[in-house]
């Protein structure tokens, strides 16, 4: 028993040391785990702070963009208001701005401008009808469908001639000058429009159709020649009226009366210009209608496409000419 006691003390001391070491290691592990957790938490906090900062910066930029966009809208609104006011003043003053790029020139009243707007709408509708007709021809649609589209296009031509008749009462010179058309179209202008006889160049025809188209072309040319001669006679008569006599230097009442008489005669002769425009448009419409009767439904459709393509190329030529490089 005396020998066992020291061994027991030694064993107890050893166990105590081991327990202390284990406790120290546990404490160290807990401290290390705590440090790791703290570092991980710090990293997570830093990421959160960076993300919040990024969100705040993105929100700030978004507010700036929105503010700039609102300012741009307001500026555009003010410019649009100014343009509308200028356009309204121009209409009141009778100013017309050509869509073909020509300089502004004075017009009496708003008749010319109103016609140009209506003509632009007419062109848009014609393009839609022609596209419909072209699709029907390419898809080999039946004659019934083609006939309906053809009739609609002819009725649409009738509409532009009606609009021109109204415009001629307001400003016949605007129609005669062709300022509502592109420069290349004006080069071939005849009495405010196209020569119908020049459009009767069609695809191979039957013998009977050829005779009918030839007769129609000849009659159209004769009517065109008669109208052209009438216009020449009117211009000559108008020139003689304006050049006869003189106002003189004394300014007497007799000379003034003669001058006023000259102007009255000239005004009366100018009034016949409206009739020339009306007759020329009637000839154009009648030629289209007669051509439609002579040809088959499918031939008529192709002829209407060819006529439209001809004027489209003239307008394209005008655009190319205006956009050409200048030295």
Q: How far is CA 279 from the centre of its chain?
A: 31
pLDDT tens for each residue of 261-292: 888 888 988 889 999 999 999 999 999 999 99
| Beta-bridge partners for 96 | 105
Q: CA 129, 133, 135, 138: dihedral to nearest 10 degrees? A: -160
For 141-159, letters b (16+ CB in 10 Å) and e give beeeebeebbeebbeebee
Average pLDDT over the chain, rounded to whole? Answer: 81
Angle at 83 between CA 77 and CA 84, to 5 degrees: 90
Each residue's pLDDT tens digit, 79-93: 666 665 655 555 544
CA-wise closest residue to 225 among 199, 197, 247, 248? 197
pLDDT digits 0-9 by tens, 141-176: 999 999 999 999 999 999 999 999 999 998 999 999
Q: Quick one: CA dihedral 61, 62, 67, 73, positive or negative?
A: positive
Residues 6+ apart with CB under 8 A from 223: 283
- If one counts every other C-beta atom within 10 angstroms of the C-beta of residue 310, the result is 14
**Conformational region of residue 105, where left means phi above 0, alpha means psi within -120 to 50, and beta covers everything else:** beta
**What is the tens place of the pLDDT at every residue in 29-68?**
555 555 666 666 677 778 888 888 888 888 888 888 777 7
């Amino acid at each position: 028993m005396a020998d066992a006691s020291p061994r027991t003390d030694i064993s107890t001391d050893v166990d105590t040391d081991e327990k202390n070491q284990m406790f120290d290691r546990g404490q160290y592990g807990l401290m290390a785990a705590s440090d790791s957790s703290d570092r991980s938490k710090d990293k997570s906090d830093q990421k959160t702070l960076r993300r919040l900062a990024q969100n705040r910066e993105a929100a700030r930029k978004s507010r700036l963009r929105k503010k700039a966009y609102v300012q741009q809208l307001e500026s555009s609104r003010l410019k649009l208001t100014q343009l509308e006011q200028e356009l309204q003043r121009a209409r009141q003053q009778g100013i017309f701005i050509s869509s073909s790029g020509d300089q502004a020139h004075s017009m009496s009243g708003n008749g010319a401008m109103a016609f140009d707007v209506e003509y632009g709408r007419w062109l848009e509708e014609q393009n839609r009808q022609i596209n419909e007709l072209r699709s029907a021809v390419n898809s080999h649609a039946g004659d019934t469908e083609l006939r309906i589209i053809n009739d609609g296009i002819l009725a649409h031509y009738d509409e532009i001639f009606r609009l021109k008749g109204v415009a001629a009462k307001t400003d016949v010179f605007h129609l005669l000058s062709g300022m509502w058309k592109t420069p290349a179209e004006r080069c071939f202008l005849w009495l405010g429009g196209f020569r119908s006889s020049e459009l009767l160049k069609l695809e191979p025809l039957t013998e009977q159709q050829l005779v009918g188209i030839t007769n129609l072309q000849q009659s159209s040319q004769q009517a065109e020649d008669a109208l052209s001669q009438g216009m020449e006679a009117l211009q000559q008569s108008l020139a003689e009226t304006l050049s006869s006599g003189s106002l003189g230097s004394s300014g007497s009442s007799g000379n003034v009366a003669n001058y006023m008489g000259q102007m009255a005669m000239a005004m009366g002769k100018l009034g016949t210009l409206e009739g020339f425009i009306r007759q020329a448009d009637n000839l154009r419409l009648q030629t289209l209608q007669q051509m439609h009767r002579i040809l088959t439904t499918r031939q008529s459709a192709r002829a209407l496409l060819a006529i439209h393509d001809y004027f489209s190329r003239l307008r394209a030529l005008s655009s190319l000419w205006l956009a050409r490089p200048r030295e």
